[in-house]
Amino acid sequence: MKFRPIALAALLTLGMAPAVHASPTGVWRGSNEAWEKVCARCHLSGVGPELRGRQLPPEYIKQVVRHGFLAMPAFPHGAIDDATLDGVALYVSKSRLNAPAKPAAPAKKL
């Protein structure tokens, strides 16, 4: 049995406002997914700095995502389109920090 080809790109951009010169295909179902599957892997694990609850300006966040910053990789439009990034930046900017970021548990002494 073979599975039909899937064109994620075609399915996932629905509902996103087209931005000038933005990457026309989103690869994300929404900003939440991009946050969870990329950003959060470093920024909620202590690998990257805690961003929540700091009211970071969305423009600043977008700038760092596009340009990278030291260890933070730069993300081109093909990896995250403007509409999705807008959503991520807004989410991070407005987020509250209930519990401090959980740094990776250190290895147990065994």
Partner 1 sequence: MTAQKTAPAAASGPAAPAILPPGVSAGDFAGAIREFITILGAENVLTDADHLAPYTKVMVAESEDLHRPAAVIMARTVEQVQKIMAVCNRVRVPIWPISTGRNFGYGSAAPQSAGQVILDLRHMNRILEVDPVMCTALVEPGVTYQQLKDYLVENNIPLWLSCPAPSAIAGPLGNTVDRGVGYTPYGEHFMMQCGMEVVLADGQVLRTGMGGVQNTNAWQVFKWGYGPYLDGIFTQSNYGVVTKMGMWLMPQPPVYKPFSIRYEKDEDIHDIVETLRPLRIAGVIPNAMVFANVMWEAAAIMPRSKYYQGTGTTPDHVLEEIKAKEGIGAWNVYAALYGTKEQVEVNWNIITGAIKASGKGRIITEEEAGETEPFKYRAKLMRGDMTLQEFGLYRWRGGGGSMWFAPVTVAKGSETRDQTELAKKILGEFGLDYVAEYIVGMRDMHHIIDVLFDRSNPEEMERAHACFAKLLSEFGKRGYAVYRVNTAFMDQTADLYGPVKRHVDQALKRALDPNGIIAPGKSGIRI
CA dihedral 40, 42, 48, 54 (to 10 degrees): 10
Q: Which one of the spans 51-59, 60-68, 87-95 is the region binding partner 1 (CB under 8 A)?
A: 60-68
d(CA 73, CA 52): 19
11 binds partner 1 (CB under 8 A): no
Query: Are 44 and 102 a contacting pair, CB within 8 Å?
Result: yes
Q: Which of 14, 70, 98, 99 lies at the binding interface for partner 1 (CB under 8 A)?
A: 70
Q: Which residues of this chain interact with partner 1, rule CB under 8 A?
A: 1-3, 5-9, 20-25, 27, 37-38, 41-42, 45, 47-48, 63, 66-79, 103-110
